[in-house]
Amino acid sequence: MDYITQIQEIARLAGAEAMKYFNHIKENAVSCKGTPKDIVSTADKAVETLIAEEVRKRFPGHGMFGEEYGRREQDSPFCWVVDPIDGTQSFVHGHPFFCISIALKENGTTIAGCVFAPRLNMMFSAERGKGAFEDGRPIHVSGCDKLSSAVVATGFACLRAGLKKNNMPIIDRVFPIAQDIKRCGSAALDLCFVAAGRVDVYWEIALKEYDVAAGALIASEAGAAVLDMNGGTNWPSEGILCTNAPLVPVMLEHFREALGTIDPS
């Protein structure tokens, strides 16, 4: 089955729907999920509904796990993991760094995924074992081997969640050393930027599976190491680190020195 073509088609349809709200063709109301920092828009819900309808039409019986409406058809071996608009803060404020993130899992393993940024017209995609691509061109992680030469990216879901163990001590350690910091507000795009070598390191605390499922596959297929922030495989519940092999031990040491062990609480 050629899943990746179907995923890309669905992502482009979802992107077109998102742009109707971004360009004010459709009205986009914004509300808070729980705190003033955690927002959801009409567009988020409409785009997820469109994706769900396309999945149901093309793949009847497949399950889905979306940010806005949770889990559906949980008895299926296939599950579509969807963030309809990753970067809602950017989206509602007119910034271009938002995307549609769609991953397909079979029996718990991600087998294909794409991240489509419609305002930027950038499509990242991967199938397990077949490499990673941007707009059809192969992409690879950078060869940067020193933090002092590295462009790093992170996010602040941990602050929205009110976690005591958050990014601030890590930032105090890493930012004075790194060459530069990028902050686009979309975990999925940050992972793809590592995959494409535009960013050398990305990490974040307090993300959900739908934030990272597609981007993590794309990054790993591009040669990145995708780990939790303790150096294990329990991402994103124990944070997520995405970088090339030489920078893994450097970053893990900074995490340990700054916070000790990262845990889901």
Q: What is the CATH number of the domain that holds 58?
A: 3.30.540.10
pLDDT, tens digit, 9 for 90 and up, residues 66-113: 988 888 777 899 999 999 999 999 999 999 999 999 999 999 999 999
Rg of the chain over all Cα atoms, to the nearest angstrom: 17
Question: Domain limits at 196?
Answer: 147-259
Residues 180, 107 share a domain: no
Residues 113/209, Cβ–Cβ less than 8 Å: no
Rounded distance between C-alpha atoms, residue 238 and residue 241, angstroms: 10
Residues 158, 134 share a domain: no
**Looking at the 3D structure of the chain, how many domains does it have?**
2
Residues 113, 153 share a domain: no
Give the N- to C-terminal CA distance of the chain in Å, as an integer: 40
What b/e readout covers 165-179, taking b as 16+ CB neighbours within 10 angstroms?
A: bbbeebbebbeeebe
Is residue 152 one of the residues assigned to a domain?
yes
Residues 109, 160 share a domain: no
Residues 161, 110 share a domain: no
- Its pTM stands at 0.95
Residues 84, 38 share a domain: yes
Residues 213, 175 share a domain: yes
pLDDT, tens digit, 9 for 90 and up, residues 126-183: 999 999 999 999 999 999 999 999 999 999 887 777 777 888 999 999 999 999 999 9
Say which residues have a Cβ less than 8 Å from residue 173's Cβ, sequence separation at least 6: 254, 257, 258
Q: What mean pLDDT comes out for the span 237-244? A: 97
Residues 132, 62 share a domain: yes
Q: Of 119, 138, 157, which residue is a domain's last?
A: 138
Type of residue at 249: P
Type of residue at 199: V
Is residue 264 one of the residues assigned to a domain?
no
Residues 39/88, Cβ–Cβ less than 8 Å: yes
Is residue 132 one of the residues assigned to a domain?
yes
Residues 209, 124 share a domain: no
Is residue 102 one of the residues assigned to a domain?
yes
Which CATH number belongs to the domain containing residue 246 in this structure?
3.40.190.80
Residues 107, 23 share a domain: yes
